[in-house]
Amino acid sequence: MARPVIEAPPTTPAGTWLEGEELARRAAARTRRKRLALLVAGWAAMLGIWQVAAYYLPFGTLPNPLEVSVEMWEIVASGALVSDFLASVLKTFAGFGVAVLIGAPVGYLMGRYGYWRAFFLDGVTVAGTIPALTYAVLSLIIFGLSNLGPVLAVALVSTPYVALNVAEGIRGVDQNLVKMSQAFGRSPQQIRREVFIPTIVPYLFAAVRMSFAVAWKVEALTEVFGGTNGVGFQIRTRYQLFDITGVIAWMALFIVFMLLIERLLLRKLEQRVLAWRPEERAAR
């Protein structure tokens, strides 16, 4: 009288296990292919809608994608791109640097101490709600036609994001960890370095990515109002000539460029810095 329940398995598992792995891999590849196809479909749908809109809108108000891409190619080929882009990007990052330098300490104070939270909260929330238009025009009024205008506008618009995110990060710190560290007699510096800073880094990155999207727009906006070089300046020049193809082409190039910076540079950096977090690893 054998015991079939126990004797049956030995031969099967090895085979099914390998097969199962193979199946899973194939399923994963299929999902990936499907996702890629949908991604392409998304772009195709966008261009399709644009094409249709260009067809139906009155002549000259919306050029079709082909005309814009020809114009884009001409801008790239003419070499005007590099100098204007470089100017805009440098101004954005300069303003951004100022924002992090001011916003991170303010956010730290706000997250850590009740007094500073009460002190800065109104100012930061107000600064965060003010329309970008205001910042652009105010920077122009202050600095006139110069490169400092866009830098100031970017700094003004992104500082509250950075401060609020950092403060949120600090407040989200696991209080049990802090209490435990205190109970074991760690110094405030150690707590700051080992508990607070690692917790706020993801929030800082979120702030950077979030406000970057706003920052370069404000930069362009300020240049549209009164820049002497840069992408916004080019857009304004084209707008004044009623060259809507030129406006869209410059804007599209700028968007592509900024998305590249955001997706490749910032996201890669974020992944690298946050690689230690289990959540990040699981998400990938």
State the residues that interact with another protein by CB under 8 A: 34-36, 38-39, 41-43, 45-46, 57, 61-62, 114-123, 125-126, 128-134, 137-138, 141-142, 144, 171, 175, 213, 217, 220-221, 224, 235, 239, 244, 247-248, 251, 255, 258-259
Nearest residue (CB) to another protein, 30 versus 192: 30
* Burial (0-12, 13-18, 19+ Cβ within 10 Å), 56: exposed
**Which DSSP helix (H) or strand (E) runs through 82?**
helix 80-112
Nearest residue (CB) to another protein, 1 versus 30: 30
Least distance between another protein and beta carbon 248 (Å) = 8
Q: What is the C-alpha separation between 67 and 252, in angstroms, rounded?
A: 12
**The tokens of 150 are what?**
């866009």
What is each CA distance from 114 to 35, 106, 272, in whole angstroms?
47, 12, 33
Nearest residue (CB) to another protein, 101 versus 130: 130
Q: Amino acid letter at 13?
A: P
Nearest residue (CB) to another protein, 23 versus 126: 126
Nearest residue (CB) to another protein, 17 versus 31: 31
Least distance between another protein and beta carbon 6 (Å) = 30
Least distance between another protein and beta carbon 57 (Å) = 6
What is each CA distance from 196 to 110, 121, 167, 189, 233, in whole angstroms?
13, 20, 11, 10, 42
Least distance between another protein and beta carbon 190 (Å) = 19
Nearest residue (CB) to another protein, 17 versus 28: 28
Alpha-carbon dihedral angle through residues 205, 271, 216, 151, given to the nearest 10 degrees:
60
Neighbours of 24 (CB within 10 A): 10
Nearest residue (CB) to another protein, 100 versus 248: 248
Q: Taking a C-beta distance cutoff of 8 angstroms, is the pair 218, 136 a contact?
A: yes
Least distance between another protein and beta carbon 279 (Å) = 12
Least distance between another protein and beta carbon 14 (Å) = 29
Least distance between another protein and beta carbon 182 (Å) = 10
Task: Extract long-range pairs of 131-134: CB within 8 Å, 24+ residues apart.
Answer: 132/157, 132/214, 132/217, 132/218, 132/221, 133/221
